[in-house]
Amino acid sequence: MNFFRIDFDFSGGLLNAGQREAFFRFLQENRPGRVLFVAHGWLNDVHSSGRLFAWFAEALRPLPVCGIAWPSHPLKRNAAGLVRAGVEATSYYIMKERAAEVGVGGLAPLVCTLKSVAPETEVHFAGHSFGARLITAAAMALGRQESGPLVGSMMLIQAAFSQFAFSPGGYFRPVVEQRMVRSSIAVTHSVHDRAVGLAYPVASLLKRQNASGLGGPNDPYGGLGANGARGLSAEECIHLNLDDTASLAQFLGTPVINLNADRVILGHTDICKPQVAAAMRVLTGAPVKAR
pLDDT tens string 119-140: 999 999 999 999 999 999 999 9
Angle between helices 200-207 and 87-102 (to 10 degrees): 90
Task: Count the alpha carbons within 13 Å of 65 in the hemisphere toward its beta carbon.
Answer: 27
How far is residue 175's CA from residue 55's CA, in Å, rounded to a whole number?
Answer: 28
Looking at residue 147, what is its pLDDT?
A: 86
The mean-pLDDT minimum among 6-15, 30-39, 55-64, 221-230 falls in: 221-230
pLDDT in tens, 93-118: 788 889 999 999 999 999 999 999 99
Nearest to 163 by CA among 136, 125, 181: 136
**pLDDT-based confidence at 229, cuts 50/70/90?**
very high
Looking at residue 216, what is its pLDDT?
A: 41
**Structural domain boundaries, residue 185:** 3-284
pLDDT > 90 in the chain, percent: 73
How many angstroms separate the most distant Cα atoms in the chain? 54
Non-local (6+) Cβ contacts of 161 within 8 A are: 96, 130, 132, 133, 136, 172, 211, 223, 224
Mean pLDDT of 250-272: 97
The mean-pLDDT minimum among 150-159, 179-188, 189-198, 265-274 falls in: 189-198
Looking at residue 208, what is its pLDDT?
A: 52
- The reply to whether 290 falls in a domain is no
- The reply to whether 289 falls in a domain is no
How far is residue 176's CA from residue 122's CA, in Å, rounded to a whole number?
Answer: 19
Looking at residue 198, what is its pLDDT?
A: 56
Q: What is the pTM of this model?
A: 0.90
Q: Which residue has the higher pLDDT, 262 or 214?
A: 262
- The reply to whether 42 falls in a domain is yes
CA angle 92, 262, 210 (to 5 degrees): 35
- The reply to whether 130 falls in a domain is yes
Give the chain's domain count. Answer: 1
- The reply to whether 291 falls in a domain is no
Mean pLDDT of 148-165: 95
- The reply to whether 163 falls in a domain is yes
- The reply to whether 56 falls in a domain is yes
Looking at residue 143, what is its pLDDT?
A: 96
- The reply to whether 236 falls in a domain is yes
Mean pLDDT of all residues belonging to the chain: 88
pLDDT in tens, 158-175: 999 889 999 999 999 999
Whether pLDDT at 80 is above 50: no
How far is residue 53's CA from residue 87's CA, in Å, rounded to a whole number?
Answer: 28
Nearest to 40 by CA among 115, 123, 98: 98
Give the CATH number of the domain where residue 229 resides: 3.40.50
**pLDDT-based confidence at 220, cuts 50/70/90?**
low
Whether pLDDT at 213 is above 60: no
The mean-pLDDT minimum among 13-22, 80-89, 108-117 falls in: 80-89
